[in-house]
Amino acid sequence: MSEEQGEHRELRELLGMHALGMTAPVDAARVQAHLDGCADCRAELAELEPLRADLRLVDPDRLPGEAAPPRELGDRVLAAVRQESVLRDRRERRASRTRRLRASLVPAAAAVVAAGVATGVTWQVATRDPAPAVAVEELPLTVVASGVRADAPAVVVPHTWGVEVTFEASGFAAGRTYRAVVRTADGATRPAGEFLGVGAGELTCDMQAAVLRDDATGFEVLDDAGATVLTLPLPRA
């Protein structure tokens, strides 16, 4: 566990006392500063707020002994660890691709800046912080076309602007164009991006569509003839 994660856990454990207004003065400022920058903890504090009156009635001296953890806790912890491992690997691969892309863009950016100076135009490069973490789903892909292989589940990320589907597969015919679509509850389809096949090599595809996750019912990859290659049902909650 990193130092940042350890501090997050420590401050999260103080949210109950903070909701009751009983945080020690030495910790109150730290908790509030953490809440200002942590959406997850703000949401958890909001869930505790309605319980404030009931919590004040609890007598610590009359509480029973330590409760045994639920039987399913171990399975839930292991599942969360496996999911985090998969997501970490995907994040690391994506970060590696991003670094390579940025490295390739440096000469182009320098040329643009030079051109701007030569013509009297001022250019400014804007940066932004990484997007906050969001809940994801891991769902199994169904291969329809022969020769295509997809062993790992796809990762579905719900965003405020649409839905993102990341998957790994191989066997797409080299040079052929494949397009992805997301199906909606009303039977319509929305484009989710295109890619070129590379033959037997494995592809990591990150497809995005302007459809909210709650409205999406399915994800498909089609070949250039319109035939379905991969399908991914998106069950609605």
Give per-residue pLDDT as tens, 130-172: 545 567 899 999 999 989 999 899 999 999 999 999 999 999 9
Q: Is 189 or 132 the better-scoring residue by pLDDT? A: 189
Band (110; pLDDT cuts 50, 70, 90): low
Cα 63 versus chain centre, distance: 39
pLDDT tens, position by position, 28-84: 888 888 788 888 888 887 887 777 666 666 665 665 666 667 777 777 777 777 777
CB 157 within 8 A of CB 136: yes
Paired residues of 78 in beta bridges: none
CB 153 within 8 A of CB 136: no
Instruction: Count Cβ atoms below 10 Å from residue 176 Cβ, excluding itself.
Output: 15
Contacts of 90 (CB under 8 A, 6+ apart): 155, 166, 204
Predicted pLDDT at 156: 94
* Assigned token pair, 196: 């070129």
Residues with Cβ < 8 Å from 56, sequence gap 6 or more?
20
pLDDT the model gives residue 26: 76
Task: Report pLDDT for 42.
Answer: 86
| More reliable by pLDDT, 96 or 171 | 171
